[in-house]
Amino acid sequence: MFYDRFRSTGYMTNWLARLIARAIDARLKPIGMSSGYMPVMFALAHGAALSQRALTEFAAIEQPTMAATLSRMERDGLIVRRADPDDRRAWLYSLSAEGLDKSIKVQEAGREINEAALAGLSGSEREAFLAALAKVVSNLESYLTKAKPADA
Amino acid sequence: MFYDRFRSTGYMTNWLARLIARAIDARLKPIGMSSGYMPVMFALAHGAALSQRALTEFAAIEQPTMAATLSRMERDGLIVRRADPDDRRAWLYSLSAEGLDKSIKVQEAGREINEAALAGLSGSEREAFLAALAKVVSNLESYLTKAKPADA
DNA sequence: TATAAGTGGATAGCAAGCTATGTTTTATGA
DNA sequence: TCATAAAACATAGCTTGCTATCCACTTATA
């Protein structure tokens, strides 16, 4: 029997990620935001001022991706940046008044979509699912770091 | 206690999808392919000739995304297309000799990454994980189709 | 204290998603 | 039959992600 993509972690995960992003974007677009902004909104929600580097690590994305995201968020008036007084290379980002206000809507949207996603799963099924997700992420992380030196 | 993104389906799923895509791309790039080609490679692997519409449905993506993917695959010599004799609007896509040859590598890469992803999970844990993924995808599908008419 | 190495960001260029919209052909129905 | 609706594909424009590379500034070291 050949490859059943509905039983492929890669296929299903990609599909699910796109569906969730679409659902989030549908909720956030009317208030001028989108799914890529979420990690930044969460990181800065309590008034923190973080560097691009810190935000990049928080969101677990690559630095140029974060740079582009921050640039769009600044364009949209959600964040402000000031020079880091201790390092002339760096900037410190924080939420604008508008961004702080909207960060509540972002949390609501996140909770709503997560709840819709897990509908019909029991408490223990949810626990098992989230635990498996964490395990699989960790597997892939080590798979990717292991692959690099082997090539060299 | 505030939002724990490591227990958010949306966050973890997005993270996992990116990790898997990276792992796949690392395997496929040396042979001139990438993760977005996979559904098409699978759909056409046994010599089928399908329309863009059929491929779009198979891959569960939007039509313009498939159009762009097919255009890159044609550029890379993996597929050929001929006019549909029964419908002058449509094209029929199939794998080139090179594409057919490479489709085996794609399946191998898919199996390898899926296995790496699920490492350390027991048989029943894998079953539960895949079942939960299917359930959550189906939840999101109906959430999205439900949301539209409510807005109108 | 110079120089070398390392770090924070910026930029270029591409892939893979999406929505919205246009064009051509096919199908329907009054 | 002919007008209209529907379908297949193309195109524009945007977001979010990646790798590779460069510049400027800091830090470490000979």
Classify B62 as helix, strand or coil.
coil
Residue of A141, A132, A55 whose CA lies nearest to B132: A132
Q: Which of the nucleotides in strand C have any atom less than 7 Å away from a protein CB atom?
A: 7-13, 15-21, 24-27
Assess A29–B contact: CB distance below 8 Å, yes or no: no
Assigned token pair, A54: 């810190």
Q: What is the pLDDT of residue B152?
A: 33
Domains of chain A: 5-117 (1.10.10.10)
How many A-B residue pairs are in contact by the CB < 8 A criterion?
A: 177
Q: What element of type H or E holds A134?
A: helix A123-151
Mean pLDDT for the stretch of residues A136-143: 96
CB A59 within 8 A of CB A66: yes
Own/partner long-range contacts of B126-132 (Cβ < 8 Å, ≥24 apart) = B128/A125, B128/A128, B128/A129, B128/A132, B129/A9, B129/A128, B129/A129, B129/A132, B129/A136, B130/A7, B130/A9, B130/A12, B132/A121, B132/A125, B132/A128, B132/A129, B132/A132
Assess B71–A contact: CB distance below 8 Å, yes or no: no
Residue of B56, B2, B1, B17 whose CA lies nearest to A60: B17
CB B118 within 8 A of CB A140: no
Q: What is the pLDDT of residue A4?
A: 84
Q: What element of type H or E holds A93?
A: strand A91-95
For chain A, give the percent of residues with pLDDT over 70.
94
How far is the C-alpha of A15 from the C-alpha of A20, rounded, in Å? Answer: 9
Q: Which residues are paired to A94 by β-bridges?
A: A80
pLDDT tens digit sequence for A63-84: 999 999 999 999 999 999 999 9
- If contacts are CB pairs under 8 Å, which of residues 84-103 in chain A contact chain B? none
Residues of chain B with pLDDT under 50: 1, 149-152
Classify A46 as helix, strand or coil.
coil
How far is the C-alpha of A3 from the C-alpha of A11, rounded, in Å? Answer: 11
Angstrom distance, B44 CA to D7 C1'? 23
For chain A, give the percent of residues with pLDDT over 90.
91
Q: What is the pLDDT of residue B2?
A: 57
Q: What is the pLDDT of residue B39?
A: 98
Instruction: Report the nucleotide nearest the CA of residue B17, measured to C1'.
Output: D17
Mean pLDDT for the stretch of residues A131-138: 98
Angstrom distance, A61 CA to D25 C1'? 24
- In this prediction the pTM is 0.93
Residue A3 has pLDDT above 80, yes or no: no
Q: What element of type H or E holds B79?
A: strand B79-83
Q: What is the pLDDT of residue A151?
A: 39
